[in-house]
Amino acid sequence: MRTRALLATLLSLALAGPACAQDDALFRDLGGRDGIERLMQDFVQRLSTDPRIAIFFKDTSLRHLKTQLSAQVCQVAGGPCVYDGPDMATTHASLGVGRRDFNALVEDLQLAMDAAGIAFGTQNQLLARLAPMHRDIVTR
């Protein structure tokens, strides 16, 4: 039930438009750079072993993916990082990511945040800031 509620919130926020980090409170609540890097390490590991979506990551450098995701989450959370990778539309255009695939990814992120002991409210804040990417990632 919790996953459905978060997914509904995430999808509705994706339709609302981009969210911008206004301060670094979320960055600090995620444990700063080190906390985000640990979170992304766990998240990438989950993505690469999740039978629902691992196929999307089989030819990906997991180290590079973790580095890129860490920078992106750090920036979105209001931290001092700058994500300089490709935009989400370009990255995902040819992958054929569907709604189920996206939902599996969100579930893996939630599991990683739970494992890291990140508070539910903080999880929701991060998901809300990442939500606008949905429209660029889901292509089928």
d(CA 104, CA 96): 14
Is the pLDDT at 66 greater than 80? The verdict is yes
Query: The pTM is what?
Result: 0.82
pLDDT tens sequence across 127-140: 999 999 989 899 88
Mean pLDDT of 78-102: 90
Lowest mean pLDDT among 18-22, 36-40, 61-65, 77-81: 18-22
Residues 6+ away with beta carbon under 8 Å from 51: none
pLDDT tens sequence across 29-40: 999 999 999 999
DSSP codes of every residue in 33-102:
HHHHHHHHHHHHHHHHH-TTTGGGGTTS-HHHHHHHHHHHHHHHTT-S----S--HHHHHTTT---HHHH
pLDDT of residue 89: 87
Is the pLDDT at 18 greater than 80? The verdict is no
Q: Where are the domains of the chain?
A: 2-137
At the topology level, CATH places domain 2-137 in Globin-like (1.10.490)
pLDDT tens sequence across 97-125: 889 999 999 999 999 999 999 999 999 99
pLDDT of residue 118: 98
